[in-house]
Amino acid sequence: MNLTISSSLVIPVSELQWRFSKASGPGGQNVNKTDSRVELIFDIKGSSVLLPFQKQRLLEMYQSRLGSGCLRVVAAEERSQYQNRQLASARMTDLLREGLKPPPKTRKATKPTRASQQRRVDSKKHRGALKQQRQNKSSISD
């Protein structure tokens, strides 16, 4: 089953590598007999569908998760291999979508306007005057 990342990018099955092994956790005696743990591996460097800048972006973003240029996802939560395969492919799709998002625009530093500075000073003066007013208590003997 192909991984659809976006309308313009689909990772073919031929570029995905699946590994199966025995999983720990729930499943009773069945756990000892079936290979329900799923490992999905995608070779970023060797991919033919990714453009060079996409490869570079993914390699930079996931450099701590990569092993020899391959992105690896493991799923072993469910009892059945089929459900774990679905989980692994969904996780891989999410990782690739997230990694291929364009970087956010850099914030351009701006100075506060003269009017906003004036409003700030006026509000501070108003607050100070209010506090001064509270302190001027008239004595009872007046």
Give the residue-averaged pLDDT of 69-91. 87
Give the residue-averaged pLDDT of 87-112. 90
Identify the pLDDT of residue 111.
Answer: 94
> Is residue 26 domain-resident?
yes
Identify the pLDDT of residue 117.
Answer: 96
> Is residue 125 domain-resident?
no
Instruction: Answer whether 0.85 is exceeded by the pTM.
Output: no
> Is residue 53 domain-resident?
yes
27-79 pLDDT per residue, tens: 666 666 677 788 898 888 888 888 888 888 888 888 888 878 788 888 888 87
> What's the domain count of the chain?
1
Give the domain range for residue 73.
3-100
Q: Is the pLDDT of residue 135 over 90?
A: no
> Is residue 122 domain-resident?
no
Nearest of 87, 90, 95 to residue 71 by alpha carbon? 95
> What is the CB neighbour count within 10 angstroms for residue 78?
19
> Is residue 120 domain-resident?
no
> Is residue 24 domain-resident?
yes
Please report, for residues 129, 130, 134, 141, 142, the alpha-carbon distance to residue 137 in angstroms, rounded to integers and kept in the order given.
Answer: 14, 13, 7, 12, 11
> Is residue 70 domain-resident?
yes
Q: Is the pLDDT of residue 5 over 60?
A: yes
109-129 pLDDT per residue, tens: 999 999 999 999 999 999 999
Q: Is the pLDDT of residue 142 over 60?
A: no
Structure tokens at 18: 């699946």
Confidence of residue 9 (pLDDT cuts 50, 70, 90): confident
